[in-house]
Amino acid sequence: MEVDEWHAPRVLLTVDLVILTLRGSRLHVLLVRRGIEPYQGEMALPGGFLRDAEEGIAEAAHRELAEEAGLDAASLHLERSGVYDDPGRDPRDRVISVAYLAIAPRLPEPVAGTDAAGACWTPVDDVLTGHVKLAFDHRQIVEDGVERARAKLECSSLATAFCGETFTISDLQQVYEAVWGIRLDPRNFYRKVQQVQDFIIAAGPLRKTEHGRPARLFRAGPGRALHPSMLRPAAPVTEEGDDDER
Amino acid sequence: MEVDEWHAPRVLLTVDLVILTLRGSRLHVLLVRRGIEPYQGEMALPGGFLRDAEEGIAEAAHRELAEEAGLDAASLHLERSGVYDDPGRDPRDRVISVAYLAIAPRLPEPVAGTDAAGACWTPVDDVLTGHVKLAFDHRQIVEDGVERARAKLECSSLATAFCGETFTISDLQQVYEAVWGIRLDPRNFYRKVQQVQDFIIAAGPLRKTEHGRPARLFRAGPGRALHPSMLRPAAPVTEEGDDDER
DNA sequence: TTAATAGTGTCTCTCAGACACTATTTT
DNA sequence: AAAATAGTGTCTGAGAGACACTATTAA
């Protein structure tokens, strides 16, 4: 041991939010334009420093969610997603960032009551491909957050957090398709999702659709973990690994 | 935004290590007796403060692994496991802890070349049940680390990190049984583990056993992700959820 | 009617688990 | 021989995906 904590370095702590939602049939992330240096004028994730030494990190995440995105933290799914600590990630100082993943249902406007000017929903594909550049290591933070969301769709009821109070099975399928970035068979999805215990429960009336037969409405059920789980299709097995077996 | 970073609070950063290994057929975690306040004389996870502001957290984890446990970090599986930031978790100051999970193969002595006096392997069950008390929130850190190890056995080749250079299929089964805390059928395990691509590869000779037929030896294969995965048996389905259907 | 979406039934394949059975060693 | 562990074969049941089929709406 022999650690002398009086000489241990102190670091700054920020919270960054990866707020995901569906717009159209694509997954979007909320970005803000930075008003201060460094990276002034560039796009970045909403977030900021801890307010004071007594504020918990989760507490700060809730505060930033309300301040910067105008979203009611109580109604949103919010969970820690990752920690970013590369000593050179912020040119000013040693800054550690704790990322939080938030899932929002479809919202009519980019953001209502936003504190930061220039907040906007951006397709995650544009961020992941590098078409839209982000400040700091925020592209990596988005990538990790999206991957976490993808994984959690398999074994948790996270998908319902993308939907409103009630939704059809088709709505839910769109969530899975947008987040996973693949197409699913509607008939198999329909059967599968209803076999999961406590995932969705029937909620009264039908919803008229633009075309076709009206669909039943459902609400999120009490289950948090899915049994059986909604596994992603396995990546197609390529034969490239068998080269040395010829 | 409008965050004035000059007034943002700074925090201390520690790294804590959850080093797991198998001893006998039980899962053990490495603990040290604290030499300084707070919690002086009590058991805790090895770890410590960042050395300086330029040291990365992963770097610090490797350093502590060598200093406190005498283990060669290069040969061990080491990954970030969690972050602990409750403002009251350290009575002295605001201290954030980043936990790392390390997996060690069976070692002959409690620890060789250990810097900290009183380091010892302790059965994780004794920690999780509260039979052995730990300083700070270290019991929670152990619990989270063990759960992460349990989950990673399913989809990664982590289990081989508990074994030496070569091992039998029976050895590998003992890893799964000890970490998951359940018994597995040897015949099914044998078949299943060999169907996983690039998980284990045959390594020459047989190993004599105390009783019974000698077993083939294997080495860890190149695969990191397991296909198909080694899923834990599902928790038995209880009927308590069906009460409202009578 | 057609187009479109909702919802059902059924087949096949793969994998998990149960377990009978054979093989090879020590005592 | 018995005991013990290694390793194989086979059956059953559950779930995933393919896909034919029916149901109900708008245009």
Chain B residues within an 8 Å CB radius of A13: 8-11, 96
**How confident is the model at residue A240, as a pLDDT?**
37
Question: Mean of the pLDDT values across residues B122-142?
Answer: 97
**How confident is the model at residue A1, as a pLDDT?**
41
The yes-or-no verdict on residue A5 having pLDDT over 50 is no
Q: Are B96 and A96 inside 8 Å of each other by CB?
A: yes
**What is the tens place of the pLDDT at every residue in B32-70?**
999 888 999 999 999 999 999 889 999 999 999 988 888
The yes-or-no verdict on residue B81 having pLDDT over 80 is yes
The yes-or-no verdict on residue B240 having pLDDT over 50 is no
Closest-lying nucleotide for B216 based on CA to C1': D6
| pLDDT band, residue A207 (cuts 50/70/90) | confident
**How confident is the model at residue A132, as a pLDDT?**
97
**How confident is the model at residue B114, as a pLDDT?**
59
Distance B69 CA to C12 C1' (A): 54
The yes-or-no verdict on residue B245 having pLDDT over 50 is no
A156-220 — its CATH code?
1.10.10.10
Residues 135-174 on A with a CB inside 8 Å of B are none
What residue ranges of chain B are covered by domains with CATH 3.90.79.10?
Answer: 12-153
**What is the tens place of the pLDDT at every residue in A126-144?**
999 999 999 999 999 999 9
Chain B residues within an 8 Å CB radius of A8: 12-13, 49-50
Query: A6-10, A215-219, B223-227: lowest mean pLDDT where?
Result: A6-10
**CA–CA separation, A34 and A43 (whole Å):** 6
**What is the tens place of the pLDDT at every residue in B173-196?**
999 999 999 999 999 999 999 999
- Average predicted confidence (pLDDT) for chain A: 88
**How confident is the model at residue B18, as a pLDDT?**
98
**CA–CA separation, B218 and B173 (whole Å):** 13
Distance A87 CA to D15 C1' (A): 47
A227 inside 8 A of chain B by CB: yes
What residue ranges of chain A are covered by domains with CATH 1.10.10.10?
Answer: 156-220
CB count in 10 Å sphere of residue B32: 23
Mutate to test the interface with B, among A54, A68, A85, A150 (most CBs of B within 10 A): A85
The yes-or-no verdict on residue A64 having pLDDT over 60 is yes
**Nearest chain A residue (CA) to B86:** A56
**How confident is the model at residue B189, as a pLDDT?**
97
**How confident is the model at residue A75, as a pLDDT?**
77
Please say whether the structural domain A12-153 has been given the CATH code 3.40.50.150: no
**How confident is the model at residue A236, as a pLDDT?**
57
**CA–CA separation, B2 and A70 (whole Å):** 16
- Scanning chain B, the segments in alpha helix (DSSP H) are 57-69, 124-128, 138-155, 169-180, 186-195
**What is the tens place of the pLDDT at every residue in B7-25?**
789 999 999 999 999 998 9
Per-residue burial over A98-107, b if 16 or more Cβ lie within 10 Å, else e, is bbbbbbbbeb
**How confident is the model at residue B27, as a pLDDT?**
97
